[in-house]
Structure 1
Amino acid sequence: MATSLPGDPVTIPAAATLLKDLCDRLRAGPSATAVLEDWCRARGLAQSPGLVAHAVPAPERPASPVQRERLALPRTVPVRYRRVRLTCGALVLSEAENWYVPSRLTPAMNRLLETSTVPFGRVVHDLSPTRRTLSLRLLPAGDRPDTAGPADPLFAIEALLLRADGLPLCEVGETYTGAVLARA
């Protein structure tokens, strides 16, 4: 089942080009939230292109020693775990795991992350974050994006989100679905 709507077929070259374009934007963008909101707007995926972060119930996953090192954290500094599905309208664009350092955020930011559906990138926008990609890998459906269904995982990214002074705010693991190739 293709991700495009009837009358708007996504051909193999077009789907591959879209996929590459989105991957390039995510590598270069300040946050996945900013990139996906622009992407939704450009593709007409929702009346209001704002993303919504829906919490996914999941057991707590402590940060690994490697993650704590990348976050520049001693073992005693708390890290919070948040798992969400990012949606644009009715489309689930990605599922993300986020290990963030609450002591590097304001109390208001922490409150929003704990109680709202605001995506992390929008919550921390005032900190002028930058994104550093650690890895990007195509998943099996990403090899044939023209035949991917909206829920099929296309690619996965691991990244750090850094404050303007270079201090890491969080590490994310994101899996993007075929819904990112949809067009209204």
Structure 2
Amino acid sequence: MIADPPAASVDMPAVRWPDTPVSRLEVLALIQTLNADLLSHPSATLTLDRWCADHKLANPATVVAERVQGAGKPIPPGVYEALKVSPGTAVNYRAVRLKCGAHVLSEADNWYVPSRLTADMNHALETSDIAFGRAVQALNYSRHTLAATLLWSPLAPGWEHEGLPKGSGVPLAIPRHVLEHRAVLTTPDGTPFSLVVENYTSDILDFPPPKG
């Protein structure tokens, strides 16, 4: 974790959070709250629906998927093992941005086994922008988190000993990606069918800071 990102990686949210000790604590609490919500619910899409509604990011507060057309990535090491299939088994790749209104809340890579989905699910995933979680909701799936990584913290390691930073008097510099989750989705009998890597963006903070 780092206290402040390099200038080249900064992507300010539309709403500027001031660089003050209180704001840094508030931002950290918000990121950790979303992290906890994602860890305790099977669908990232539905969790972001609630986040969007609770923080009035858009009206209607509904998360939609925007497929990244032409996207392609080699199957990284560990995917076949995580999905419990042998090398050579058909594994599809899908990249999407999960958006609430104009806000891109998450950028996700998804490797999934089409033979473990229904024909209708595969058709929807291949021909539409439907979010993966909505497309496969009828599977009554479970989500098993492999890793949840805080990519950035507004507080430097050891702040509890050294005290809160005084603040700079300018907007808080927040990098584009603040949180990453890696998870496997499984059917009720434990069969894995999807490995997803989700990068949550600074747009999750695009709402006014608390007053006072």
TM-score w.r.t. length of structure 2: 0.77
Contact 1:50 1:88 in 2 (8 A): yes
Q: How much has 1:81 moved relative to structure 2?
A: 0.2
Residue 5 of structure 1 deviates from its aligned partner by 3.4
Which residue of the partner structure matches residue 5 of structure 1?
Answer: 15
Which residue is equivalent to 1:82? 94
Q: Which amino acid aligns with 1:15?
A: V
User: CA contact under 8 A between 1:31 and 1:161: conserved in structure 2?
Assistant: no
Aligned to 2:202: 178
Find out whether 1:147 has 2:172 as its counterpart.
yes
Deviations 1:114-164 (A, max 9, x none): 11111000111111111111112122xx21298245x71111111111112
Residues 60 and 71 of structure 1, relative CA distance in 2, 3 Å threshold: same
The match for 1:55 is 67
Which aligned pairs between 1:95-134 and structure 2 lie closer than 5 A?
95-134=107-146
Amino acid at match of 2:172: T
Name the SS of the counterpart of 2:78 in structure 1: helix
- Shift in CA distance, 2/60, structure 1 to aligned 2, threshold 3 Å: closer
Distance of 1:148 and 1:40 partners within structure 2: 22
1:103 Cα deviation from its structure 2 partner:
0.7
Q: Which residue of 2 aligns with 1:69?
A: 81
- 1:19 and 2:42 correspond: no
Q: Please tell me whether the aligned partners of residues 12 and 176 of structure 2 are also in contact (alpha carbons under 8 angstroms).
A: no
Tell me which of 161, 166, 179 is aligned to 2:185.
161
Larger radius of gyration: 2
| Gapped regions of structure 2 (runs ≥ 5) | 1-10, 156-170
- In 2, distance between residues paired with 1:147 and 1:160? 34
Higher RCO structure, 1 or 2 (CA under 8 Å, sep 6+): 2
Counterpart-to-counterpart distance in 2, 1:35 and 1:5: 22
Distance 1:148 1:98, change over 3 A: farther
RMSD: 2.2
Compare the two structures and name the one with the higher helix fraction: 1
Equivalent pairs, count: 180
